[in-house]
Amino acid sequence: MKSEKKNIEPLKISCDTHDCENNLHCFRISKKIAKKQVEGSCSYCGANVVDWIRVRDRRLEDLEFTIENLKKEGIRHYFWHFKLTTKHKEFISTLLVKFV
């Protein structure tokens, strides 16, 4: 499997990816900043832009609202719009063959 991974370039994103000016925040709570961060607010700018109580209700009839709010997190936004290449699809296929 290692040789298959070499064909795919690593993604340039991490859990704390953010672009606060464009309303793409990081809601990850790290040990370093947990004491000063308000739960649910952005780790970098402090914005509190998601109605977490409503999102965490996970009501099917509120799906559109939930998705729009979760896309305010940088990493979720990235993967929401990520386009799989042929190489990605081929790699996934090799995993499926090995694990199914």
In the complex, which residues of this chain contact Zn ion (CB under 5 A)? 20, 25, 42, 44-45, 47
- Distance (Å, whole) CA 15 – CA 27: 9
**Cβ closest to Zn ion, residue 42 vs residue 66:** 42
Residue 62 or residue 76: which is nearer to Zn ion going by CB?
76
Q: At a CB cut-off of 8 Å and minimum separation 6, what does 73 contact? A: 24, 25, 26, 27, 50
Residues facing 24 on adjacent strands: 19
Closest distance to Zn ion from the beta carbon of 65 (Å)? 20
Give min distance, CB of 52 to Zn ion, in A: 15
Are residues 42 and 26 in contact, defined by beta-carbon separation less than 8 angstroms?
yes
Task: Please state the closest distance from residue 70 (CB atom) to Zn ion, in A.
Answer: 15
